[in-house]
Chains A and B, each alone.
Chain A
Amino acid sequence: AQSVSQHNHHVILSEAASLELGCNYSYGGTVNLFWYVQYPGQHLQLLLKYFSGDPLVKGIKGFEAEFIKSKFSFNLRKPSVQWSDTAEYFCAVNASGTYKYIFGTGTRLKVLA
């Protein structure tokens, strides 16, 4: 069965620290990949997505993610986090040509001012 793993459930960082959140998926075919974020009290919203082309994609607020097909990974990065990045981050995978969307369990990030 398809699955998405986010190994870090809780991450605490100080401002200006670098961030990397892991996302691994299990599916052998072509995939579309997403990172969503949920700020406190707000709706889930898209950070960035990958569906083809350059495996390094850039999203809003300085976030980027790299698709490494051989590792089935789509890790999220930010070189310097801010207090306002405190949120829950979700990785999601859509198997191309299907209606199935699989989400990870999410990673709660807390950034200390």
Chain B
Amino acid sequence: ETGVTQTPRHLVMGMTNKKSLKCEQHLGHNAMYWYKQSAKKPLELMFVYSLEERVENNSVPSRFSPECPNSSHLFLHLHTLQPEDSALYLCASSQEVGIYEQYFGPGTRLTVT
């Protein structure tokens, strides 16, 4: 399989649950990203990883915890979320950070009840 894949595609969780979102890229890229897309708001960059090292944390609450065990995989661990965290979470990858095109996955639609 090629491109960027994300699982699960849909997730409903309670505020006390712990869950994880998974992203996998098969493109040999060195940079990976997590974005949040809420209705009528711009895509918000959450985290950037370059060569498995977190290089950007865009003031994201600690209830979101990223993990990048290798250059192909990126996780977003979720715990004690709030209803306002309901959104589409997109993963992307690029050859390197900066001028390179980002390749996006299909997203995980998260609903917090």
Could you tell me which A residues sit within 8 Å of B by CB distance?
A: 4, 32, 34, 36, 43-46, 49, 51, 90, 92, 94, 96-97, 99-106
Contact = CB atoms under 8 A, between A and B. Distances in A.
Nearest to A51: B99
A100 B4 CA distance: 21
B89 interface: no
B106 A43 contact: yes
A41 to B, nearest CB: 9
Contacts of B104: 36, 43-45
State which size class the interface on B falls in.
20 to 34
A57 B107 CA distance: 29
Contact of A101 (B4, B41, B45, B106): B45
A43 to B, nearest CB: 5
A100 B45 contact: yes
Nearest to B41: A105
B97 interface: yes
A94 B42 contact: no
21 contacts: A4-B42, A34-B101, A34-B102, A36-B102, A43-B103, A43-B105, A43-B106, A44-B104, A45-B103, A46-B101, A90-B43, A94-B98, A96-B98, A99-B56, A100-B56, A101-B45, A103-B42, A104-B42, A105-B40, A105-B41, A105-B42
B106 A99 contact: no
A49 B101 contact: yes
B81 interface: no
B48 interface: yes
